[in-house]
């Protein structure tokens, strides 16, 4: 291999590495079972506030700062899933079959068997708030029903719709990214 080809190859590899997961963000590609499990396994601890490190021995015992505030509760583990639905419907589109099968397999896995989940439906802002709330309720229920039909116990699943109240992309309220289903670990 010539030096020029070698350098071009090295630059191309470096450019791809610098892109990180940009290619993995394609909404049409399904996440892996392992990535879903990792996202839902444990809650994320809240960042500690007011903690400092002593710079010399004994400095911490001489500090007169008030006792730290109680730690904030951990953020529940969750994952946003781009699940497509038929237009104006709660019917899961065929294009999301692979994503749904992968999600069901992950939630039914032994690694997550002690956890409970809330399926949260979200919509974009087109249409009335009341209509979007009802549509998101129906879509969350459809995902819950699919998961139950594919091996996840109903006692581990709860469905709730948020409508357009929690837009992922508030700069573009009608963006497709706002139409999503979030899976949140709520117990275990």
pLDDT over 70 (residue 46): no
Determine which of 77-81, 131-135, 162-166, 168-172 has the lowest per-residue pLDDT on average: 77-81
Confidence of residue 111 (pLDDT cuts 50, 70, 90): very high
User: Domains along the chain?
Assistant: 30-41+74-188 (3.30.1330.60)
| Non-local CB neighbours of 142 within 8 Å, separated by 6+ positions | 85, 90, 91, 92
Tell me the pLDDT band of 27, cut-offs 50, 70 and 90: very low
Distance of alpha carbon 41 from alpha carbon 9, whole angstroms: 38
Q: What are phi and psi of 177, to 5 degrees?
A: -65, -20
**Cα 120 to Cα 76: distance, rounded to the nearest angstrom:** 13
Q: Is the pLDDT of residue 44 over 70?
A: no
Do 162 and 122 touch, CB atoms closer than 8 A? yes
21-30, 81-90, 142-151: least confidently modelled range: 21-30
pLDDT band at 76 (very low <50, low <70, confident <90, very high): confident
What pTM did the predictor assign? 0.68
pLDDT digits (tens, 9 = 90+) for 54-72: 344 554 555 555 555 555 5
| Contact call for residues 33 and 109 (beta carbons, < 8 A) | yes
CA distance 144 to 118: 9
**Do 135 and 90 contact (CB within 8 A), yes or no?**
yes
């Amino acid at each position: 291999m010539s030096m020029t080809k070698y350098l071009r190859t090295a630059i191309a590899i470096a450019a791809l590495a610098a892109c990180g997961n940009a290619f993995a963000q394609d909404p049409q590609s399904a996440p892996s079972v392992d990535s879903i499990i990792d996202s839902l396994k444990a809650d994320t601890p809240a960042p500690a506030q007011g903690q400092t490190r002593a710079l010399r021995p004994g400095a911490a015992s001489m500090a007169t700062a008030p006792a730290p505030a109680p730690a904030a509760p951990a953020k529940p583990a969750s994952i946003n899933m781009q699940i497509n639905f038929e237009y104006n419907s709660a019917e899961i589109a065929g294009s999301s079959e692979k994503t749904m099968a992968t999600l069901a397999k992950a939630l039914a896995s032994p690694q997550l068997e002690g956890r409970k989940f809330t399926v949260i439906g979200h919509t974009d802002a087109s249409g009335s708030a009341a209509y979007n709330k009802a549509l998101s309720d129906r879509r969350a229920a459809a995902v819950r029903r699919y998961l139950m039909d594919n091996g996840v116990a109903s006692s581990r699943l709860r469905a709730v719709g948020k409508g357009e109240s929690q837009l992922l992309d508030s700069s573009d309220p009608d963006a497709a990214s706002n139409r999503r289903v979030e899976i949140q670990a709520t117990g275990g």
